[in-house]
Structure 1
């Protein structure tokens, strides 16, 4: 493999694993045996009956998508793996109860012996927020407060907090996570709009440990990076300490051209890269994983 970048795989680019757990476990264990650094997991608690809401333009994940509950799944996978890291990419944080997320994440971090990275984002589908009983319109500001609350609960033994959306006194998480705090990477953008607004980019620079951009290593992407770095410096932070994790679609795992895509993103500043392997079934995705590993070992 390419030695100067950490490569991972998505558990599903689109959720083509069926309801059976065995192929999913085989896929993750195989990735670990091959030396991949992380596996990314989706988070959608509910699927949308898209045809009743204007089609799938709003979301590629529908009622026909099989997406497992990410904390439960990571806890399960932590017992059958030893090294590979788990990364939620991304968890719709403002849809969920903050303190409960902090508790669930802490438990997964403990069970996995410190192998959790939390990819989080504000979310984009108001139908999902309604199903979860949360306010879609306030999600951005609540997200920032949620980040603060979770970090305090992970680090401090005794926490009191009074904010706009959270207020509690003299509480603690017990046990606290191994990583204090658990790394928080911010997700952003969509395929239809890969460059997010400046307010989103500046939030990364001010608050994130890392980020998960979906734009390419091009001039527009560089402008976004510059905005993030400027916000980090204004907040008194070192931009070089922000981990960038990018992703690449691999339509043909036998074609080594995806390795050039890895190198372009590495040279752009990404220290972690996730490979999205296509396939219409679990068996196809497992075979594609074998093929991409063979290509990496041969040409990387």
Structure 2
């Protein structure tokens, strides 16, 4: 099981010097991936579903990851997750390919449908359409990355007689990880994702999601080109992640466990957290 770092494009780590220090140290310690979260806007005043206050600073994930790519050499760069229906799929495909090329093929593109209606409305996307748009946009980006003469005809996006280069470094484009904890998200991960990405506060919550993914796999055909479904999970409570919990995650067959030190407000505390839980600690 690999260990990654999640959520450090916000709050205490906005300063570029701190980001550089933490990202380089994470790479030195053996963490294999660095993940950034996404919200274009947040409800104001804060609503019960909102994960952050509207005044909490949050850097754009692709911009943040491009900076991290420039100050590191090996660590993979993940969006965890990017809210896909809020983005134009052709523009995002170009941005993702560019980041993948500049980082030497290190991009992991985590996407999901989103869950904040106020945010979706503010960017002009009908909330009830978010799932269908997510499915279609994944297919459209894949066509642009992989087809010799790209073409796509959908309800929300259509194109032909166009092309976009450079193509991503990885054949077939960046690995796509589909996020979400609903039955629809599980089915989307099985049908369209190289992997699934979720979050929670315990191995028990992961076990519940794994059961949902198993049910989806029994209902949905998985394209052979995607290979085995890779499982990535972010543990969101830094106070409860110890060696025993990490061992329980590994026993569940988790491919990648993401540590989430973002609630810590002092960069020195974040660094200590990463050093204490580094691979092999």
Please confirm whether the aligned pair reaches a TM-score higher than 0.5, indicating the same fold.
yes
Q: Measure how far apart 1:221 and its partner are.
A: 3.5
SS, match of residue 32 in structure 1: helix
Q: Which residue does 1:88 correspond to in 2?
A: 79
1:61 equivalent among 52, 61, 69: 52
Q: Which residue does 2:270 correspond to in 1?
A: 285
Q: Distance in 2 between matches of 1:147 and 1:229?
A: 19
Q: Which residue does 1:32 correspond to in 2?
A: 27
Once the two structures are overlaid, the 10-residue window that deviates more, 207-216 or 20-29, is 207-216
CA contact (8 A) 1:120 1:187 kept: yes
Q: Measure how far apart 1:113 and its partner are.
A: 0.3
Q: Distance in 2 between matches of 1:165 and 1:86?
A: 28
Q: Which residue does 2:186 correspond to in 1?
A: 201
Gap runs ≥5 in structure 2: none
SS, match of residue 214 in structure 1: strand
SS, match of residue 130 in structure 1: helix
- Structure 1 residue ranges (4+ consecutive) displaced by more than 6 angstroms after TM superposition: none
Gap runs ≥5 in structure 1: 190-195
Q: Measure how far apart 1:236 and its partner are.
A: 5.5
CA contact (8 A) 1:96 1:132 kept: no
Q: Which residue does 2:151 correspond to in 1?
A: 160
Residues 1:118 and 2:100 are matched in the alignment: no
CA contact (8 A) 1:155 1:181 kept: yes
Please provide the CA RMSD for this pair: 2.3
Q: Measure how far apart 1:171 and its partner are.
A: 1.1
Change (3 A) 1:236 1:132: closer
Change (3 A) 1:175 1:236: closer
Q: Which residue does 2:256 correspond to in 1?
A: 272
Once the two structures are overlaid, the 10-residue window that deviates more, 109-118 or 236-245, is 236-245
Q: Distance in 2 between matches of 1:109 and 1:270?
A: 25
Q: Distance in 2 between matches of 1:246 and 1:42?
A: 13
Alignment of 1:1-300 (within 5 A): 5-12=1-8, 15-17=10-12, 19-50=14-45, 55-179=46-170, 180-189=172-181, 196=182, 198-214=183-199, 216-218=202-204, 220-232=208-220, 234-235=221-222, 237=224, 241-249=228-236, 251-252=238-239, 258-277=242-261, 278-293=263-278, 296-298=279-281
Q: Distance in 1 between matches of 2:28 and 2:103?
A: 16
- Number of residues paired by the alignment? 276
Which string of whole-angstrom CA distances, capped at 9 and with x for unpartnered residues, describes residues 89-139 of structure 1? Answer: 000000111100100000000000000000000001121122222222211
CA contact (8 A) 1:41 1:70 kept: yes
Q: Measure how far apart 1:45 and its partner are.
A: 1.4
Q: TM-score, normalised by structure 2?
A: 0.90
Q: Distance in 2 between matches of 1:150 and 1:214?
A: 25
CA contact (8 A) 2:177 2:193 kept: yes
Q: Measure how far apart 1:18 and its partner are.
A: 5.2
Once the two structures are overlaid, the 10-residue window that deviates more, 236-245 or 158-167, is 236-245
Q: Measure how far apart 1:262 and its partner are.
A: 2.0
Which string of whole-angstrom CA distances, capped at 9 and with x for unpartnered residues, describes residues 206-232 of structure 1? Answer: 111100123554463343132132135
Q: Distance in 2 between matches of 1:250 and 1:136?
A: 29
Q: Measure how far apart 1:270 and its partner are.
A: 1.1
CA contact (8 A) 2:3 2:259 kept: yes
